Chain A
Amino acid sequence: MSAPSPSPVKTGPAPAARPPSRERGPGRARGLKRRYGHPAFFLFPLPALVLYVIFFAIPTVQAFQYAVTNWDGYSAEYDSVGLDNFRQLAGGDDLFSNAMTNSLKFMLVVVVFQTLFSLVLASMLTRNSRSSTLLRAVFFLPTILSSVSVAFVWKFIYDPNFGLANRALESVGLDALTSSYLGDDGKAIYFLALTQIWFHTGQMMVIFIAGLQQIPRELYEAAAIDGVSRWQRFRHVTWPMIAPATGIVIAYTTIQSFKAFDLVLGLGGNPPQGSLDILSTRIYTSFANSEFGYAAAESIVFMALIALVTVIQRRTVKLTQSGA
């Protein structure tokens, strides 16, 4: 056995202070404690971590496993089908492609108009006056309702014979604009989007108000001194300064619109007709149809789509705001 080679001798000066992780003994322990607090604090995230692993991490991993099987959700036996489920989704499933198109249309309309309306409302109600506070509460009210209640209310607004919408149009002589709303295959998804916008605009308005109230008044005063127009003030001061709020609103609205599940079932029944079928309801239908493996494959595509849309949106928002 050869003797161990001598370790190189350090000739340079010793470092003045080592990082805490290299320390030893009670001194290091005190350093750790000072830096991170008592180690028992690490136990606090444990319940959340356990719940996250059980209800999110495991099901997500399982989804990948089920997606390559034809498991029906209850049998002990199943076959591996490789990528067949994904091939079917890619080219041979009109119902899935219809749901994906509907989801994208729905998301686009909801994200654009919900963001726009909530920003307009927030701009008008930023001041903490009594009337603003009252109006904020009024606009926020739909958010606290359950999806089922909202669906119930809007079912009666949209009813072609007794509903509020057609009656209002008829009372002002706009009979030509009356519609069967959710029964109109070409427009049903937009009427669903309208309900979603009504439901959540107040919630997004609150986020924008918080963002607007953070903008220093000096910036507006400087803009006023420079003699800028209202539009220029919005474009060059407000819009860049509310970038974080806009990012949150858009990302949240996107995910919220993809998750609009109970509202769709409330308005369109279970399963909803094709014109109201979005990806979340399509996955649920596959699940109810005892196609657990296929539903898992649909879920993975859905997950990838949400990630892709979110990334594109964030980049778009960054680009518009950096160019402002």
Chain B
Amino acid sequence: MTEHSRPYGLSRRGLLRAAAVGGTVATAAACAGPGTTRGGRSGAGAPSDVPKPVSGRADARISFAHWRAEDKKVLAELIGDFTARHRGSGVQQDISPAQDYQANALQRLKSGAVGDVLTAFRGAQFADMLKAGLFTELSAQTFADHYMPRHSRGGRDAAGRLFGLPYQLVFLMPLANGDLLEKAGYADPPQDWDGYLDLCDKLKSRGTVPLAWPGAEPGNAGQLFNSMVMNNAPHDDACARIESGKAKVTDDWFLRILGQYAQLRPFVQRKAAGTQVEPAQQMFARGSAAMLATGSYHMAAVRQLDAEFPIALVPPITVAKGERPRYVGTHNATFILGVNAASKHATTALRFVEYLSTPSVATRYANGTAQHLTVTGVTYENKDLRDTQHWLEKRTMLAPRYQIEDIDMLNAVEGACAKVLTGTSPGKAAEAAQRVVDQRRRK
């Protein structure tokens, strides 16, 4: 036996050596180039070959990744129907909380292990997923014809090719208590800025908070931004221009928006900057606030709080008296449905999206979840959906806030509006926001 041999196979020194070797190997592994393990296409985004219209049977078990936990039951019923029609198929819902989905979906879905059918938020997430080559092109799919053409823009790339189908349609403008507006003399909503301020003044003089604004939650507080921008912006892509550096937060048109925010100060609830969305909903549902500055996606929640009054959508129209507004409201087409380019069961995934795109199935989904959809031929049985259905045909703008894809820039720009509404001067708020935008652009 030599000096270095050991009576046992493993000694402490041996273990330490093994750990050192393991650590070195691990370190070397760690030094592998980032992203080198990613499968699928490279960052260019679009594939060269457009998948043909789906044919063949749906006979595989697939995963459907989304964040709509509140829709789980309705989707489970629809999935039950789908799997009964397609023997051998199965759809497993993979549901993440919305915030997690926003942050992690791209990393989770790129392998194709989950999310044969996937969803994306409109804006930054869809753009990133598209860039990562996650979506199968749907341009040739006949079921895409079931969607309202003007609402499918959010699912296209820069060249106009269709990769995702925006399924849900929400109107991002304040909800209003029809009874209180009528009592204030505005059975018909005001059509200019002076009229809007007059409405708020009359509501306030009657002891009602004109506008419940959830200032403590940037996601909801920012919805008012859409209505304030729609008729003030010189171009439809003005917010995208802020991000690209072609426009500034300190430009006159944006300062005009901030000035109008300042005019709304007396009409939001006291200490609005600290109000979460649930108390704001509560104020609206109880009738202590006449309007709720969020969007149609809160109609169901307000009804659950026993609100019985008629609900209308009343956006602030920011034009001068006598001036014709370019837009009468804003919408967002979101919950973008798509098929994962890395899916091993593309036929079943396409068949499932085709199934969800059928008007009769979409009708069940819409009424079960109290959401408007972008699918044509949907029959709305829910009273609130029916009462606001006419907005589907109106001249509404695709929500401008989502044109800013950088999260920090969006927060800075919307944050400037929120700060003005709670007391900061427009000039100061604009300069602070522009400084962040400039810093972000330099990165």
Which listed residue (A58, A76, A274) contacts B26, Cβ 8 A?
Answer: A58
* A149: interface (CB < 8 Å): no
B12 touches A181 (CB 8 A): no
138-197 of chain A: CB within 8 A of chain B: 155, 158-163, 166, 178-185
* A219: interface (CB < 8 Å): no
B1 touches A77 (CB 8 A): no
Do A287 and B103 form a contact, CB below 8 Å, given A58-B29, A95-B436? yes
B1 touches A42 (CB 8 A): no
A180 touches B219 (CB 8 A): no
Which listed residue (B1, B8, B36, B103) contacts A284, Cβ 8 A?
Answer: B103
- Shortest Cβ distance from residue A5 to the other chain B in the assembled complex, whole angstroms: 21
CA distance A223 to B7 in the complex (A): 58
- Shortest Cβ distance from residue B222 to the other chain A in the assembled complex, whole angstroms: 11
- Residue-by-residue, is A62-100 near B (CB-CB < 8 Å gives 1, otherwise 0)? 100110010111111110000000001000111100000
A71 touches B34 (CB 8 A): yes
B31 touches A77 (CB 8 A): no
A74 touches B38 (CB 8 A): yes
- Judged by DSSP, the binding face of B is helix
Contacting residues, chain B, for A57 (C-beta < 8 A): 23, 26-27, 30
Do A271 and B407 form a contact, CB below 8 Å, given A76-B42, A77-B42, A178-B271? yes
B219 touches A269 (CB 8 A): yes
CA distance A293 to B388 in the complex (A): 45
CA distance A76 to B35 in the complex (A): 5
* B406: interface (CB < 8 Å): yes
Contacting residues, chain B, for A179 (C-beta < 8 A): 271, 274
Closest to B10 in A: A39
B8 touches A39 (CB 8 A): yes
CA distance A58 to B27 in the complex (A): 6
- Shortest Cβ distance from residue A198 to the other chain B in the assembled complex, whole angstroms: 18
> Interface stretch among A22-30, A103-111, A224-232, A234-242?
A22-30
Interface residues on A, range: 35 or more
Do A61 and B31 form a contact, CB below 8 Å, given A95-B408, A161-B269, A270-B99? yes
* A273: interface (CB < 8 Å): yes
B216 touches A183 (CB 8 A): yes
CA distance A24 to B7 in the complex (A): 9
Contacting residues, chain B, for A94 (C-beta < 8 A): 435-436, 439
B12 touches A42 (CB 8 A): yes
Which listed residue (A59, A77, A155, A274) contacts B415, Cβ 8 A?
Answer: A274
CA distance A166 to B19 in the complex (A): 58
- Residue-by-residue, is B15-28 near A (CB-CB < 8 Å gives 1, otherwise 0)? 10001001100110
* B349: interface (CB < 8 Å): no
CA distance A43 to B407 in the complex (A): 47
- Residue-by-residue, is B123-151 near A (CB-CB < 8 Å gives 1, otherwise 0)? 01000100110000000000000000000
CA distance A36 to B15 in the complex (A): 13
Which listed residue (B131, B217, B407) contacts A288, Cβ 8 A?
Answer: B407
- Shortest Cβ distance from residue A297 to the other chain B in the assembled complex, whole angstroms: 11
* A248: interface (CB < 8 Å): no
Do A289 and B406 form a contact, CB below 8 Å, given A39-B8, A39-B11, A184-B274? yes
* B118: interface (CB < 8 Å): no
Do A184 and B273 form a contact, CB below 8 Å, given A57-B23, A161-B279, A288-B102? yes
Contacting residues, chain A, for B283 (C-beta < 8 A): 161
- Shortest Cβ distance from residue A36 to the other chain B in the assembled complex, whole angstroms: 6
* A210: interface (CB < 8 Å): no
* B324: interface (CB < 8 Å): no
Contacting residues, chain A, for B106 (C-beta < 8 A): 73-74, 290
26 contacts between A and B (CB under 8 A): A24-B3, A29-B8, A32-B11, A39-B11, A42-B10, A74-B38, A74-B106, A75-B35, A76-B36, A88-B443, A155-B276, A158-B274, A161-B279, A178-B271, A180-B215, A180-B275, A183-B271, A183-B275, A269-B217, A269-B219, A271-B407, A273-B216, A287-B103, A289-B407, A289-B408, A294-B443
Give 15 A-B pairs besides A42-B15, A294-B443 with Cβ atoms closer than 8 angstroms.
A25-B1, A58-B29, A66-B34, A69-B34, A74-B110, A76-B42, A88-B442, A160-B275, A162-B279, A180-B272, A180-B273, A183-B422, A269-B218, A270-B99, A291-B443
The 10 A-B residue pairs with the shortest CB-CB distance in the complex, in nearest-first order: A183-B273, A183-B274, A180-B274, A160-B271, A29-B7, A180-B271, A61-B30, A288-B103, A75-B43, A39-B8
A-to-B contact residues, CB < 8 Å: 24-26, 28-29, 32, 36, 39-40, 42-43, 49, 53-54, 57-59, 61-62, 65-66, 69, 71-78, 88, 92-95, 155, 158-163, 166, 178-185, 265, 268-274, 284-285, 287-292, 294
